Amino acid sequence: MSPTSLIPTLSLLTTLLAPVALSQTFTSCNPLNTTTCPPNPALSTNHTYDLTVSSFGSSTWNTTAGLLTYTRSGAEFTIATRGDAPTIQSQFYIFGGEVEVWMRAAEGQGVVSSIVLQSDDLDEVDWELLGGNNTHAQTNYFGKGNTTSYDRAVWYPVADPQGGFHNYTTRWTKEKLEWFIDGATVRTLKYEDANGGENFPQSPMNVRLGVWAAGDRENNNYTVEWAGGKTDYDKGPYTMVVQSVRVTDFSDGKEYRYGDMTGSWDSIKIEPGNSTAEEELNKPPPMTASQRWNSLGPGAKIGVACAVGASCLALILLSAVYCSRQRRAGRRERAIADADFEKEMRELSAYRATMAKGGFAVSSREV
């Protein structure tokens, strides 16, 4: 598959768009500027996140902006009001690998659905889909945050990305980068073709997914124009849905360290050991009550049964004692009430007898 005739115009426009490339990318410590940056925790395995039945999980991903909603369709990234830009980022890094995302892009003029791989020294590989463009997806890359030119974006046909789910895959090795749409290769970038390798991504990268309004009125005119126009929030909400994510790390180790301040592929050190992310992903799920019961031995089951029986018996005895006490207390209260009633009846009978005999008390003042 090759780019269509509209690509030159879009690529020319993209050369003016530094804010677009930087809108959802950042680094907290750049190894090109200091040797004190922490190592990158490795994935060191492959894993598929089926978001129709589970979440990304806080043990391997961080939500860096906004909130995600999980439904039977997948993870929903929604722009409901101005300022919304829900984004999630993996805690792990891959050093060479493959990222496959089944996604339905968000609708909406100026709204951008993005899949980003980025390293601490700002190597970057992108997918970007515009809410107002239902025929193409943009591929892009950067090396070491080099924004001296923006002519690396290339657009490729995809059928109605906002109306249905499509597979967007990136494969990254030391020698080349490849982009796939629904299993078909649409673009290949060789190391030497990226400015002699200088702009070729070659340091460990994490994975970032998000949606944002490039068409916001506060963005510059070039960004808004690239995004297809201003975003009308009153016509929202605008939702990107991610059905599943498969991530494969081609390297094997505990973590990745920068051996120097060049950020070159060969300078990256792979520290041996067990990957924390891999350990988290391989943890068995919590057992259900029936599974815990089935895992017990015969002696343990008898002990549990005896304990339960003893508890039930103790509960029955306590209930019986309580009821007995309540009955005794009730009898005492009834006896007191009966005595009071009998006393009142005797007094009432005596009063009636006195009335019948004409025995009224007369005050001396009335004589």
Catalytic residues: 124, 128
If you write DSSP's letter for every residue of 43-71 in order, what string do you get? --SEEEEETTTS---TTTEEEEES-EEEE
User: Which run of H or of E encompasses 332?
Assistant: helix 298-356
* Residue 39, strand partner residues: none
Contact 51, 71 (CB under 8 A): no
Contact 181, 167 (CB under 8 A): yes
Residue 285 is given by DSSP the state: P
If you write DSSP's letter for every residue of 117-130 in order, what string do you get? EEETT--EEEEEEE
Residue type, 299: G
Residue 246 is given by DSSP the state: E
Distances (CA, A) of 170 to 42, 48, 85, 113, 131: 18, 15, 23, 16, 21
User: What is the rounded distance in angstroms from the CA atom of residue 320 to the CA atom of residue 10?
Assistant: 84
User: What is the rounded distance in angstroms from the CA atom of residue 314 to the CA atom of residue 306?
Assistant: 12
